[in-house]
C-alpha cells in the first residue's frame, strides 16, 4: 500500500478530456476545498511514504507528525492498493475527506458463522466526506459511526458488510456506481438521498420498513442533479472545471447502440440512474412479493413501473406518453386505487359539461346551450347543468333510469362512450382496492 498526494493539475488535465462525465454535486460543491486538501501534500512525498509504512506495520504514531499538528488528518491523499485482513485502527477517527481510494481491499477474516453480527469496524469515527472509492472490495466489515457524505463508490464490491448498524453515523448523498452487493445490511440506512447507478447487482440484501422513502423514489435529489447536468450543453461540458474534487467524477457508460438518438446521449447519466434503481427495486419487489416481510411490494412495484416508464421516455419510445397517461395517471399502475377513482369523478364532470351543449330531453323538453357565452350568462344554466350532472352519474354507473334521455346523435354517442369508460374504471378501482386486502 502506498499513499501519494493527489495532483490537482493531473486531475484537471484528465477531467478536461472526459467530456462525458457527470460531476456529482456540480452545482453545490465548493471550488477550493479540494485544492486546499491536496495542495498541502505537494512537497511531502517522503512523509506520505513514512505514513504508508507505519500504517502497514500497524504502529502509526500521529503525535510524531509535527506537520499534521498532532491531528489525524489525511484529507486530500490517494490510497493505492490498501490491503488489510484486520481492522486498520490507525485510520479510525481520521479525517480523510477529499481522498481517493484506488484498488483497495479490506477483508477481515473471521471464524464466526454469524457474519452480520461479527463485523469489525472500518474507518470507525472517521470523516470520509467527498471521497471517491474506485475498484475497491470490502468483505466482513462494518461501516459504523462517522461522516459519509457526498461519496462515490465506483465499481466496488461489498460482501458481508453492514452500514450504520448502531444508527449513529451520518450517511447522506452516497452514489453507488456499478457496485456488487452480496449479503449487505442496509436496514439502518435512509436511502432517500442515495443513488444506485448503472450496472448494480444485489443478493441477500437486508433492509427494514424505514429503509426506503415512503412518498418518493430513492435518490430523487441525485436524479434531479443528473438531469440538470444532462440538460447543460453537451459540447461545452469538457470546458468545466471540477467542482469539489475528483470524488465528483462519475463516468458515463459508452452508449452501445450506434444509432442511439441524441436524446439518449444527452440524458445518459439520468438513464444510468434509472438503470441502477430499476435493478434495486426489482430485487426488493421480488423479495417482498415472495416473503412479504414488510408489506412493501405494492408500493415498490409502483416505483418500479414508474422508473421503467421514465427510462423509456429518455429512450424516446413511440407512444410512451400515451401509455404513461393511461397507466400512471388513470390506472395508477394498477396499484393506487385513488387514481381510477379520481379519473372516474373527472369523467363525470367532463361528460356532464358536454351534455349541456349536445342536448338532453327532460319530460319532452330539450335543453341546449350551443353558445359558450350564453351558457355562463343564462339564469337557467345551473338547473340545466344539474340535470346534465345527474344524467352523467346514472350513465357512468350504467343504471339509466330513463327519466332523462339523449336529444341528439352526439349525446347518444357520448353516453355510450361514458358507459364503457364507467364499467372500465369501476372494474379497475375494484381490482386495485381489493389487492390491498389480499396482499
* Structural domains of the chain ordered from first start: 2-265 (no CATH), 338-438 (1.10.287.70)
Element (H, E) at 177: strand 170-177
pLDDT-above-90 percentage for the chain: 21
377: confidence class by pLDDT, cuts 50, 70, 90: low
Task: Read off the pLDDT of residues 237-269 as tens digits, 9 standing for 90 and up.
Answer: 444 433 333 333 444 443 334 444 444 457 777
Higher-pLDDT residue of 418 and 168 is 418
pLDDT bucket at 46, cuts 50 / 70 / 90: confident
| Grid cell for residue 68 | 499534521
Band (pLDDT 50/70/90 cuts) for residue 118 is low
Closest to 385 measured CA to CA, from 334, 431, 350, 414: 350
Give the model's pLDDT for residue 259.
41
**What is the pLDDT at residue 19?**
32
The reported pLDDT for the residue numbered 185 is 94
pLDDT at 170 over 60: yes
The arithmetic mean of pLDDT across residues 41-45, rounded, is 80
Whether the per-residue pLDDT at 111 is higher than 60: the answer is no
pLDDT at 21: 41
Quote the cell numbers at residue 328.
400512471
- Range from 308-322, 332-346, 376-390 carrying the lowest mean pLDDT: 376-390
Q: For 140-267, where are the alpha helices, taking DSSP H only?
A: 220-230, 262-266
Alpha-helical runs (H) found in 139-184: none
Selected residue with higher pLDDT from 28 and 198: 198
Which residues lie across from 142 on neighbouring strands? 121, 162
Confidence of residue 230 (pLDDT cuts 50, 70, 90): confident
List the single range of 58-62, 104-108, 131-135, 176-180 with lowest mean pLDDT: 58-62
Out of 103-112, 267-276, 353-362, pick the least confident: 103-112
The stretch 135-157 carries a mean pLDDT of 92
Number of alpha helices (DSSP H) and beta strands (DSSP E) in the chain: 12, 18
Residues 6+ apart with CB under 8 A from 248: 23, 24, 25, 26, 29, 130, 132, 152, 242
The answer to whether 299 and 334 are in contact (CB under 8 A) is no
Model confidence at 436: pLDDT above 50? yes
Largest CA distance in the chain: 103
150 in Cβ contact with 247 (< 8 Å): yes
Per-residue b or e along 32-41, where b marks 16 or more CB atoms closer than 10 Å to that residue's CB: ebbbebbebb
Cell numbers representing residue 392 in the block: 352523467
Averaged pLDDT, 366-389? 72
In whole numbers, what is the pLDDT of the chain averaged over residues? 77
What cell was used for 266?
Answer: 444527452
Residues 345-363, mean pLDDT to the nearest whole number: 89
pLDDT over threshold 60, residue 217: yes
Q: Nine-digit cell at 316?
A: 424516446
- Output the pLDDT for position 346: 94
The span from the CA of 211 to the CA of 167, in Å, is 12
| Average pLDDT for 115-134 | 82
Answering whether pTM is above 0.95, one says no
Amino acid at each position: 500500500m502506498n499513499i501519494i498526494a493527489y495532483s490537482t493539475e493531473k486531475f484537471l488535465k484528465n477531467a478536461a478530456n472526459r467530456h462525458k462525465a457527470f460531476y456529482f454535486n456540480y452545482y453545490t460543491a465548493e471550488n477550493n476545498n479540494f485544492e486546499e486538501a491536496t495542495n498541502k501534500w505537494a512537497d511531502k512525498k517522503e512523509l506520505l511514504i513514512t505514513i504508508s509504512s507505519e500504517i502497514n506495520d500497524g504502529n502509526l504514531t500521529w503525535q510524531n507528525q509535527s506537520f499534521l499538528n498532532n491531528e489525524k488528518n489525511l484529507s486530500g491523499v490517494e490510497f493505492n492498493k490498501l490491503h488489510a485482513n484486520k481492522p486498520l485502527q490507525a485510520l479510525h477517527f481520521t479525517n480523510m475527506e477529499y481522498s481517493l481510494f484506488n484498488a483497495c481491499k479490506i477483508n477481515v477474516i473471521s471464524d464466526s458463522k454469524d457474519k452480520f453480527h461479527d463485523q469489525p469496524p472500518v474507518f470507525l469515527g472517521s470523516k470520509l466526506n467527498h471521497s471517491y472509492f474506485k475498484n475497491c472490495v470490502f468483505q466482513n466489515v462494518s461501516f459504523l459511526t462517522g461522516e459519509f457524505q457526498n461519496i462515490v463508490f465506483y465499481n466496488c464490491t461489498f460482501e458481508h458488510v453492514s452500514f450504520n448498524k448502531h444508527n449513529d453515523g451520518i450517511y447522506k448523498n452516497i452514489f453507488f456506481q456499478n457496485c456488487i452487493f452480496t449479503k449487505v445490511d442496509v436496514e439502518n440506512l435512509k436511502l432517500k438521498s442515495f443513488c444506485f447507478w448503472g450496472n448494480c447487482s444485489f443478493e441477500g440484501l437486508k433492509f427494514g420498513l424505514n429503509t426506503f422513502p415512503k412518498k418518493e423514489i430513492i435518490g430523487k435529489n441525485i436524479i434531479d442533479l443528473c438531469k440538470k447536468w444532462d440538460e447543460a450543453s453537451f459540447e461545452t461540458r469538457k470546458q468545466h472545471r471540477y467542482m469539489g474534487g475528483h470524488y465528483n467524477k462519475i463516468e458515463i457508460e459508452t452508449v452501445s447502440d450506434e444509432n442511439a438518438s441524441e436524446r439518449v446521449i444527452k440524458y445518459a447519466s439520468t438513464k444510468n440512474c434509472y438503470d441502477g434503481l430499476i435493478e434495486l427495486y426489482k430485487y426488493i419487489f421480488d423479495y417482498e412479493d415472495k416473503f412479504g416481510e414488510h408489506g412493501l411490494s405494492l408500493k415498490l412495484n409502483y416505483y418500479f413501473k414508474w422508473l421503467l416508464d421514465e427510462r423509456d421516455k429518455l429512450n424516446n419510445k413511440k407512444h410512451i406518453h400515451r401509455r404513461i397517461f393511461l397507466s400512471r395517471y388513470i390506472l395508477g399502475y394498477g396499484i393506487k386505487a385513488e387514481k381510477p377513482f379520481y379519473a372516474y369523478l373527472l369523467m363525470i364532470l367532463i361528460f356532464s359539461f358536454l351534455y349541456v351543449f349536445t342536448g338532453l330531453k327532460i319530460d319532452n323538453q330539450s335543453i341546449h346551450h350551443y353558445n359558450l357565452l350564453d351558457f355562463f350568462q343564462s339564469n337557467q344554466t345551473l338547473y340545466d347543468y344539474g340535470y346534465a350532472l345527474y344524467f352523467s352519474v346514472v350513465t357512468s354507473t350504467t343504471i339509466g333510469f330513463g327519466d332523462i334521455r339523449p336529444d341528439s346523435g352526439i349525446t347518444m354517442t357520448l353516453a355510450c362512450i361514458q358507459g364503457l369508460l364507467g364499467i372500465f374504471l369501476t372494474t379497475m378501482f375494484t381490482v386495485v382496492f381489493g389487492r390491498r386486502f389480499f396482499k
